[in-house]
Structure 1
């Protein structure tokens, strides 16, 4: 099976423009940016509850502590949220009436939480309808890892951020592109 496409900034902007025209634009934007700016797996995004991201005072936490049940490897981990993602999540949570800690962070049209598979399908159709081919629910995660690698973040740090036990797995996520190669030879 082919790996998920790593998106360019132009393609990320394209999907964000598309979802801005939909029924739940703030939710959809927050889901996409959570994938691209935190590197969470789609099942981890689907499992998020309000209490995972909201402090008692209603502010957004700067890190999410995923339980073993929420992760693929069955190991708890901490996910660090950049300020720009915290701002996006705060804007989204402002559109929600209910903020009890146990309710899903991201809801379906029926106000239920997404299943992991349901969120995969959601990503598929949004990418397809926005005209981005080859993108999947894993594209945000691959783009997150590749973008950080482009900025010189070590593979060991990337593996920890991704929740990988092996740096060999993390290395498979990193797309090598012409910009990376250009920058590399300029170091000579």
Structure 2
């Protein structure tokens, strides 16, 4: 079995059977491509069905010189998944990464913005500029609904259920969920949609997409990152922020104000609550408040 054929079969499996997003598939594929490049560079023609632990260890030693522990761990995890797939398809009997340990890494706590910092960013938006109303609606939606950037750029007008107070979001693996949306965010979206967006030369393929660029096409992930970065600089925010920072802030502020972790999990679209639990480490005072309010021997 050739590497390229194995990689193609693997990506099809990730797409069709596991229902992963394009970004996730690209990430998993990138790990395998790194190994393929390593083998080609060292003129090693071993196939994916017989490659052993020794060769894998040589590869791991090589990338350890080039990337940090977190990236090493990610690559090891991705390759372990690839070889698990080959076992599942009966191409191999064992996983050569089974006994290879990933480097120990600390659990990285998410960066968050305070409420006053978010207010400062929103206040720094130039509403007199052509994209001002759109950018305000984007920031408010990221923060009030905790969306991933991919979920934001794919949000459609037909996904807005304002009468019911919800929006429909398509997340990882094309899984859909409904998220409550506040009146203020609804107001800003409506201003953009009804007073600004209607004047754009909208391309037919993007007629239902909510947030558009000035040419009437869908915004890219990179454009949202640029908007957030520029607004942070204008607002004088010293932290390194990204669209995901607003998602983290959404979850953290809900938790700090007494929201149930399970409810936060559902709104974020986390498959496992262990992913959501990282926010429990952000503000220990929340745990103390829970004890003080609910424990019989407080």
TM over 0.5: yes
Structure that is richer in helix per residue: 2
**Aligned-partner Cα distance in 1 for 2:289–2:144:** 23
- In the TM superposition, residue 5 of structure 1 has moved relative to its aligned partner by 2.3
Aligned equivalents of 2:282 and 2:179: distance in 1? Answer: 25
Partner of residue 118, structure 1: 223
> In the alignment, which of 34, 46, 57 is matched to residue 141 of structure 2?
34
Question: C-alpha distance in 2, partners of 1:49/1:140?
Answer: 20
By how many angstroms is 1:123 displaced? 1.6
User: Matches of residues 87-126 of structure 1 in structure 2 within 5 Å?
Assistant: 87-95=187-195, 96-97=197-198, 102-126=207-231
What residue in structure 2 maps to residue 158 of structure 1?
264
CA pair 62-185 structure 1, distance change in 2 beyond 3 A: closer
Shift of 1:20: 3.0
TM-score by length of structure 1 reads: 0.81
Q: Which residue of 234, 245, 255 corresponds with 1:139?
A: 245
Change (3 A) 1:37 1:26: same
Aligned residue in 2 for 1:64: 167
Determine if contact 2:121/2:235 at 8 Å carries over to the other structure: yes
SS of the counterpart of 2:124? helix
In structure 1, the gaps of 5 or more residues are none
Measured after TM superposition, the shift of residue 7 of structure 1 is 1.0
Give the match's secondary structure for 1:11: helix
2:116 is the alignment partner of 1:13? no
Deviations 1:140-174 (A, max 9, x none): 11111111111221111111111011111012245
3-state DSSP of counterpart to 1:138? helix
Q: Which shifted more, 141-150 or 102-111?
A: 102-111
Q: Which residue of 1 aligns with 2:178?
A: 78
Provide the C-alpha distance between the structure 2 equivalents of 1:137 and 1:71, rounded to a whole number of angstroms. Answer: 15
TM-score by length of 2: 0.53
Partners of 2:255 and 2:286 within 8 A in 1: no
Conserved 8 A contact 1:62-1:82:
yes
Q: Compare relative contact order (CA 8 Å, sep 6+) and give the higher one, 1 or 2.
A: 1
Paired with 1:118 and 1:32, the residues of 2 have a C-alpha distance of 13
Contact kept, 8 Å, 1:51 with 1:102, in 2: the verdict is: no
Give the Cα–Cα distance (whole angstroms) in 2 for the partners of residues 64 and 148 of structure 1: 18
Residue matched to 1:51: 158
| Of 132-141 and 111-120, the range deviating more from structure 2 | 111-120
Larger radius of gyration: 2
Matched residue of 1:85: which SS?
A: helix
Greater Cα offset, 6-15 or 94-103: 94-103
